[in-house]
Amino acid sequence: MTVHKPVLLNEVINILNPQLGEFFVDGTFGGGGHAKAILEKIGENGKLLGIDWNKGAIESGRFQVSSLKFKNILLIQDNFANLPEILQKNSLFSTEVGIPTAVGTKADGLLLDLGISSDELENSGRGFSFRKDEPLLMTYNDNEIPVKDLLRQLSKEELTKIIKNYGEENWAIKIAEAIKNRPRKKSIETSRELAELISETLPRNYERGRIHPATRTFMALRIYANKELENLENVLKNIDKILKNKGRIAIISFHSLEDRIVKNYFRNMAKENLLEIITKKPIVASREEILENPRSRSAKLRGAIYDNNN
């Protein structure tokens, strides 16, 4: 299994500033690297709620947490977009973790790391990676429509728009045409079939060899299939239901559309005196971190403090 390296770890902890006894939410638990650092700061009297869509991440997280003897964490397989509803169940910790006191319905801090982990890409078995030959599902769970079905259902125009807007792919029309012109009896069923079709469609000198020809299309289809941008917006517009007053939020994005959404929501809330922006510009990884963890290359971190008493 790929060793998970949390991106911008020190910078995230500086923004969230976890204190002893506080309650934090990690809405994208993943490999648990950020959560572990938060738990060490909040101590045994603090509490952490970890959420992830991926069942494997939750199961792996439970194993890691048990080995570290953390007793003040609850892991739930769910979508972070449902946080307001999840937090309304304010007896979660008292019943499921054995901690006698409830956490309340709002948190002192929230972390969202919107990237997909290397382990999830390579070992999910759900077709996220164009380097694998797996069923073309590309969804984090079985509640969403798999990409192999979406490719049949979407029109050429719809597919072009998705690849262009979510993947920022200049060859979107050509790729969509190749997918839709494929005979129905030879429908695309696996990640390798889609990757090969895209590679055959695009010029050999695509992006001068800097990235695989299927990179942007796979990303676009994943974002669309899982409603990733809509889920992010749902959290941002409900910050008042998630964070206590003076609660901190840190969001790591890996896509310009995600970063733009975060920037605009933060800016608009700041204008309404509901938020203090900590990061005037997004924080990016240092050269040293990028060399150690290439995944951090496109990461952008923004942080803010929710303040409804201005």
pLDDT reported for residue 147: 98
- List every span in the chain annotated with CATH 3.40.50.150: 9-118+229-306
156 close to 150: Cβ distance less than 8 angstroms:
no
Per DSSP, helices labelled H in the chain are: 9-16, 33-42, 55-67, 83-88, 92-96, 118-123, 147-153, 156-167, 172-180, 191-201, 215-225, 228-236, 239-242, 256-271, 287-292
How many other C-beta atoms are found inside a 10 Å radius of the C-beta of residue 66?
11
CATH class of residue range 9-118+229-306: alpha beta
pTM of full prediction above 0.85: yes
pLDDT reported for residue 246: 96
| Helix, coil or strand: residue 2 | coil
Spans of the chain, pLDDT less than 70: 1-4, 64-70, 90-104, 118-119, 310
| Helix, coil or strand: residue 208 | helix
Q: Does domain 145-225 have CATH number 1.10.150.170?
A: yes
Q: How far apart are CA 145 and CA 241, in angstroms?
A: 29
Cβ neighbours of residue 193 closer than 8 Å, sequence gap 6 or more: 136
Residue 283 has φ and ψ, to the nearest 5°, of -85, 135
Q: How far apart are CA 290 and CA 310, in angstroms?
A: 39
pLDDT reported for residue 62: 73
pLDDT reported for residue 93: 61
Task: Using alpha carbons, select from 164, 258, 251, 264 the residue that is nearest to residue 216.
Answer: 164
- List every span in the chain annotated with CATH 1.10.150.170: 145-225
pLDDT reported for residue 90: 59
pLDDT reported for residue 2: 45
Cβ neighbours of residue 173 closer than 8 Å, sequence gap 6 or more: 160, 164
